[in-house]
Chains A and B, each alone.
Chain A
Amino acid sequence: DIQMTQSPSTLSASVGDRVNISCRASQTIGNRLAWFQKKLGKAPKVLIFKSSTVHSGVPLRFSGSGSGTEFTLTISSLQPDDFATYYCQQYSAYATFGQGTKVEVK
Chain B
Amino acid sequence: DVQLVESGGGFVQPGGSLRLSCEASGFTFSSYSVNWVRQAPGKGLEWLSFISPSSVTIYYADSVKGRFSISRDNAKNSLYLQMNNLRVEDTALYYCARMYSSGWDYFDFWGQGTVVTVSS
- Write the residues of chain A forming the contact surface with B, with a CB cutoff of 8 angstroms: 32, 34, 36, 41-46, 49-50, 55, 87, 89, 91, 94-100
Contact = CB atoms under 8 A, between A and B. Distances in A.
Interface of B: 4, 35, 37, 44-47, 50, 59, 61, 95, 97, 100, 104-113
B106 A49 contact: yes
Contacts of B112: 41-43
Contacts of B109: 43, 46
A44 B37 CA distance: 11
Nearest to A50: B106
24 contacts: A34-B106, A34-B107, A42-B112, A43-B95, A43-B110, A43-B111, A43-B113, A44-B95, A44-B107, A44-B110, A45-B110, A46-B107, A49-B100, A49-B106, A50-B106, A87-B44, A89-B107, A91-B104, A91-B105, A94-B50, A95-B37, A97-B46, A98-B44, A100-B44
B108 A95 contact: no
B45 A97 contact: yes
A87 B110 CA distance: 14
Contacts of A32: 106
A55 B2 CA distance: 14
A22 to B, nearest CB: 16
Contacts of A45: 110
A42 B47 CA distance: 18
Nearest to B45: A97
A99 B95 contact: no
Given A41-B112, A43-B111, A49-B100, A99 B44 contact: yes
B108 A89 contact: no
Contacts of B35: 95
